[in-house]
Structure 1
């Protein structure tokens, strides 16, 4: 089993977000953050949890 890919997290990556393994707590945080973003309650730059895994998301990489 992989570990959560969020920086500084050592929990088991039991779930995924955008194909990236994350723990239960970080998945919940990213989901809430995403909902707030699409409801226009927070800006893109305020999505700190999402930004933590963004370099690992296959379709967000620039090669």
Structure 2
């Protein structure tokens, strides 16, 4: 699968989030953060991990 696509991470990617290859640590961080967002415990702008991969998510790009 290659390397984790999270900025500055060189770990091996084992899973994906929104089609972005991520290591186990970053995928879990994005998953937990997303759960907090949908449970209204954090705001959209507080999604640090998600924002790190947002430019790589196909449907998030503005082309």
TM-score grouping bracket, smaller chain normalisation: over 0.9
When the two structures are superposed, what TM-score results if normalisation uses the length of structure 1? 0.96
Q: Cα RMSD over matched residues?
A: 0.6
When the two structures are superposed, what TM-score results if normalisation uses the length of structure 2? 0.96
Q: Tell me how far apart the structure 1 counterparts of residues 46 and 4 of structure 2 sit (CA, whole Å).
A: 21
Number of aligned residue pairs: 63
Q: Tell me how far apart the structure 2 counterparts of residues 31 and 56 of structure 1 sit (CA, whole Å).
A: 16
- Structure 1 residues without counterparts, runs of 5 or longer: none
Runs of 4+ with deviation above 6 angstroms: none
